Amino acid sequence: MLSLVAIAKNEADEIREFLQHHAPLADEMVVLDTGSDDNTPALAREAGARVETFTWCDDFAAARNAALETARGTWVLALDIDERIAPRDFPRVRQAMQGERTGYLLPQWNYYDDPRHQEWQPVTGRYPEMEGGHTGFFLAYQYRFLPVMDGLRWEGCVHEDLSASLARLGLQNRLLDVPIHHYGYVRGEQDNARRNAFYGRLVRKKAAANPDDPKAALELAWILIQEGKGREAMPVLEKVAVQAGGLPSVDRARIMLAKMYDEDGRADEALKLMEATVTQSPRWVFGWVSYLQLLSRLERWRDALGVAGRAEAHLGEHVLVLREKFRILVNTDRMVEAIGVGRRVAELAPHLREYAALADKCEALARKAGLI
């Protein structure tokens, strides 16, 4: 039996559609209301959910665990109201219930239409019905699918996860390639500003309680940068960046810090951080992309070509690396090579169709120069 559980507050505009969308997947739906002053609870009941109440205490893990305790199923899928599982993936979720009883990581596709985000990637058309015209997303991995068992609990007042309790129980985490389609970042600037302010308070609380946790420190640095306090973020990032590489929090801290060093005119230090990142985490595409972007800003084109080749050796054909390689080839007047790269970018990511037009311009220039 699968229980869908969601925590909610003042979600009257969306909760009915959320529940109706997931009703064919779940055997029961539970909404844990954390203090709505609109008709969220009534709408949830009308849509077939059981509504429980919870007194908000500035702790997302506590709320998720309270929702977990109300579930009557043997498995729980925990989602937020601005998230969806694609209907085509419903059978895969049900099938996973027959497998190993452990916490499953699900990829969270955070739709985001500004390609300047550090880990933005273009949509590929894999889920056209869910992409909804959005141009890209950034990826996170979330423990949201788990069996009901003693001791399996979320921890952390914000950006909560199951890692610690999984380790205590001796369970292996597993990845289930069923994306959580998250639309919270494309609701508008006002919603984003409110969320950042709310999360900022909780992240500071988390970082103060866990001063040696690199993940909490990274979250704090991100909030400080969002608040325009980059100078305060820099020492936080430096403390994380000197730790042993290969951890996602350390890798992310390094590329954030490298960007700040570059802006400060400390290019050599930035390049050393980038080299350390790709050496220790050669399968992380955003380390390579950030490295290539830094080299391009510095107009170190020969070095950039070499790094692009190394990235392709580790990652194969990746649209984000190809996009950077196209820019490098154009800036080094290697128009013939750029033609194929630009067209391949447009094939792999239809929303980047402008690269097909750019490839055509490269072909025209190559013909005019007698190169083809």
Measured CA to CA, the distance from residue 264 to residue 300 in angstroms comes to 18
**Cα-based angle 241, 245, 251 (whole degrees, multiple of 5):** 60
Average pLDDT across the chain, whole number: 95
Give how far Cα 119 sits from Cα of 285, 290, 314, 331, Å: 9, 9, 18, 24
Measured CA to CA, the distance from residue 247 to residue 238 in angstroms comes to 15
Which CATH class, in words, describes the domain spanning 282-372? mainly alpha
Please write the tens of the pLDDT for every residue from 285-319: 999 999 999 999 999 999 999 999 999 999 999 99
Please write the tens of the pLDDT for every residue from 56-92: 999 999 999 999 999 999 999 999 999 999 999 999 9
Phi, psi angles (nearest 5°) of residue 102? -155, 170
Half-sphere exposure of 265 (CA within 13 A, CB side): 0
Q: Whole-angstrom distance between the N-terminal and C-terminal Cα of the chain? A: 64
Higher model confidence: residue 304 or residue 353?
304
Confidence (pLDDT) at 253: 96
Listed by start position, the domains of the chain span 2-104+142-176, 282-372
172: CB partners within 8 A, 6+ apart: 100, 102, 166
Which CATH class, in words, describes the domain spanning 2-104+142-176? alpha beta
Confidence (pLDDT) at 351: 87
Please write the tens of the pLDDT for every residue from 204-240: 999 999 999 999 999 999 999 989 999 999 999 999 9
Please write the tens of the pLDDT for every residue from 92-113: 999 999 999 999 999 999 999 9
CB neighbourhood size of 293 (10 A): 19
| Residue in 216, 233, 215 with CA at minimum distance from that of residue 224 | 233
